[in-house]
Structure 1
Amino acid sequence: MVVPFDNQKARRARLRLVGIGVAVVAVLTAGGIVAVSTLGGDDKPGRADAKASPSPSPSDASASPGENEKYTPGSAPRIPILKATKHSQGIGTGFEHSSLGATSAAVSYWEDLDLLDDVIARQQWTAIAAKDSPNTIDEGVSEVRKVREGVGLPPSGGTPDGITFSTNVKAALARGLDKNGDVVNVWMTFDRFATIRDKGADENPLRDETTNLVLKWEDGDWKVTTAPQYTAKVKGPRAYDPASKWAFMDGWREVADG
């Protein structure tokens, strides 16, 4: 489940649907469609150039101290994102039980979640919500409907013809929240664009947004959880910066395209 920063206000990207005749102000929150605030105060991302001791993370496991000092997220090898092995309820699922599997699941879910179709959103959240977080589904649908109402659309329905949203996760940082590797928090930095038929790409996309998903290994797959016993352990990372060795030492890794 998304764990965005406390009291973070929704950001707006202006879109115009020529042909439909509707001026759309799309509410695309930095924390995503489901805004469940459980972090606050000191848990926000810090400056990437701050020289404090980095927190360990699963993504640091293969890097030696020398490598940590040598690389930045932009110069280090990118981490591969595994492909979903199953497709359920309009979203890819079926990722291996590993830190890379959790990271791949988080990236895949975040890029594929529907932003404006509440019916599809319900199907998707039903497929990826953990059993301990059933409210995740209704909250996801509720936020989509709020977005729809905010842009002048009926509360329920599909995405208007002629507009497409694209979310691109650029970097990720995975941290285990238990001793067994069954609960992993994945921070992500992403861009979000809109494409309008016959008009091209959005002129004011969201860039360099940061959000996270807490994933729990359940029934042979990674599920999104907002259970307090896990979200209470989430701590904010250093801010992602592709040129910062401190961001690399904290665990930020760029993800490979495709």
Structure 2
Amino acid sequence: MSLGDEHGFGDSARADDEYYDGGRTRTRLPDRPGDPYGGARRGSRSSSRGLITVVAVVVLLIGAIAVANRGGGDGGPAASDGAGDKPKAAATAATGRKPVTTKTAGIPSGFPHDEQGAQSAAANYSVVLGSAEMFDTDRRHRIVNTVYAPDIAAARQADLDSAYSSEKFLANIGLTKNGTAPAGQTFVSRVIPVGTKIAALSGDTASVEVWYTSLFGLSGQASTNPVSESWFTTTYQLRWVDDDWKITDFQQKDGPVPVGRDQRASTADDMTKAVEEYGGFTYAR
């Protein structure tokens, strides 16, 4: 199992393909045919037709809200109109539960033994496994021993130690042989979950999919491996062990990947400042 699979950056060692892009940006012209967000620009319309369109949208929105508010009733007439066969509008809607308040080795722990607890555990474990802390040997050992099931952690520890100590891998991503950033640069390695989904749940085992974006690279004026963005979905196999969810296995795949907007890349100083000033989150369903 590769290191890229572990922390969600894909083939991180392929610096020539993914990170060393010379700072090029792609420009998406808004008027070109086949544009993902609406195609070619249409001609002008009269103000009266525009007003009718706005009113129609408002009426549809009010109707949608009314239908949503009817859900969860006593199964009266509203339940017989076919609305119950439609998928939920928000698969990752908040449950109203507060995030866990307990931590083990600085990592959120003590998740509920239910669907929401499994999804929250998977999201939080994604964040820590994709963090820059994984490049520090002592911290990596604590992370693995915390998020993996005890009978799995030892084997994973050996694999990860071998991968993270590879001087070739470290050199490819621009780090020193000690896993640290060169002088004057800041190493960025973050995972930001976008959504979670229960793929399977049965008793003390669960399969949870986490869709997320990751930031990875070196921020600094002399960086040849600038911070870039990637998108992945990782499916975690979890088991209920010692009153908490623990990882037993996982599978990773690319995407879904959204269309990139025509935004100018930030300067190295702005990126470094953002990484230093903005912290992460504890995730809950």
Q: 1:77 aligns with which of 72, 93, 96?
A: 93
Q: Is 1:110 the equivalent of 2:135?
A: no
Say if 1:68 and 1:196 are closer, same or farther in 2 by CA, change over 3 A: farther
Q: Could you tell me whether the CA contact under 8 Å between 1:170 and 1:191 is conserved in 2?
A: yes
Aligned to 1:125: 144
Q: Could you tell me whether the CA contact under 8 Å between 2:173 and 2:217 is conserved in 1?
A: no
Hey, what's the Cα distance between the residues in 2 that align with 1:241 and 1:15? 20
Task: Give 1:157 deviation, angstroms.
Answer: 3.8
Letter in structure 2 aligned against 1:95: F
CA offsets per residue over residues 107-151 of structure 1, 9 Å max, x none?
011112234523222220011221221312222333333442432
Aligned length: 185
Q: 1:176 aligns with which of 194, 200, 206?
A: 200
Say if 1:189 and 1:154 are closer, same or farther in 2 by CA, change over 3 A: same
Q: Name the SS of the counterpart of 1:77 in structure 2.
A: coil
Aligned to 2:230: 206
Q: Which runs of 5+ in 2 are unaligned?
A: 23-71, 73-78, 259-282
Hey, what's the Cα distance between the residues in 2 that align with 1:190 and 1:152? 24
Hey, what's the Cα distance between the residues in 1 that align with 2:105 and 2:193? 22
Aligned to 1:10: 11
Letter in structure 2 aligned against 1:167: V
Hey, what's the Cα distance between the residues in 2 that align with 1:196 and 1:151? 8
Say if 1:170 and 1:112 are closer, same or farther in 2 by CA, change over 3 A: same
Hey, what's the Cα distance between the residues in 1 that align with 2:209 and 2:123? 9
Q: Could you tell me whether the CA contact under 8 Å between 2:174 and 2:218 is conserved in 1?
A: no
Task: Give 1:170 deviation, angstroms.
Answer: 0.6
Hey, what's the Cα distance between the residues in 1 that align with 2:212 and 2:97? 15
TM-score normalized by the length of structure 2:
0.50
Higher share of residues assigned helix:
2
Hey, what's the Cα distance between the residues in 2 that align with 1:81 and 1:111? 20
Hey, what's the Cα distance between the residues in 1 that align with 2:189 and 2:197? 24
Q: Name the SS of the counterpart of 1:132 in structure 2.
A: helix
Please list, as runs of the form range in 1=range in 2, the aligned pairs for 1:1-258 lying within 5 A after superposition: 10=11, 12=14, 13-14=18-19, 66-67=83-84, 69-73=86-90, 77-78=93-94, 83-113=99-129, 114-115=131-132, 117-119=135-137, 120-133=139-152, 134-146=154-166, 147-158=169-180, 162-178=186-202, 180=203, 182-194=204-216, 197=219, 204-207=228-231, 209-226=232-249
Structure with higher Rg: it is: 2
Instruction: Report which structure shows greater RCO (CA 8 Å, sep ≥6).
Output: 1
Say if 1:145 and 1:93 are closer, same or farther in 2 by CA, change over 3 A: farther
Q: Which runs of 5+ in 1 are unaligned?
A: 17-22, 24-61, 243-255
